[in-house]
Chains A and B, each alone.
Chain A
Amino acid sequence: GEDVEQSLFLSVREGDSSVINCTYTDSSSTYLYWYKQEPGAGLQLLTYIFSNMDMKQDQRLTVLLNKKDKHLSLRIADTQTGDSAIYFCAESPMNRDDKIIFGKGTRLHILP
């Protein structure tokens, strides 16, 4: 069945770049997402990429997609303390009403 895997923890020094990696299994995935969850808060959509794209950049965020390897990454440039959160990789197929399949989330910890 569909599955999304990502590492559980990442520690990065403030000012460095953070790279969070994710792999997925569903080859029919059309939308691939990154969500951010701060403590006690809901899920905030950070960015998403269509499966026909290789890269998407949005300010400090860069998403890279390797469709052949089913590998997705999120790079956060110049990581700040406010970036400390859990980052969920997620995917869904083409249809608008399709469910989103989430990974377990990567907890990003910022070192001073």
Chain B
Amino acid sequence: AQSVTQPDIHITVSEGASLELRCNYSYGATPYLFWYVQSPGQGLQLLLKYFSGDTLVQGIKGFEAEFKRSQSSFNLRKPSVHWSDAAEYFCAVGLYNTDKLIFGTGTRLQVFP
């Protein structure tokens, strides 16, 4: 069955530090991959998505993610974290020929000044 794993439940970083959030998926074909962010009391907002082509994807707010087929991973990165990046981040897989998304359990990011 398809699944998404976000191994880090909670990550704490200092403002200005670099960030990498991990995401691994299990799916029998090339998936559509997404990262969403959920700020407290807010709905989910799409940060970036990968459908095909260049495996390094740029998103909003200075985030990027790299699709690595050999590792079944789609890790999210940011070179310098801002305090406003504190939120919960969800990785998701879109299944081929459907529009359903399978979400990971999320990673909560805390940013210290």
Chain B associates with chain A: no
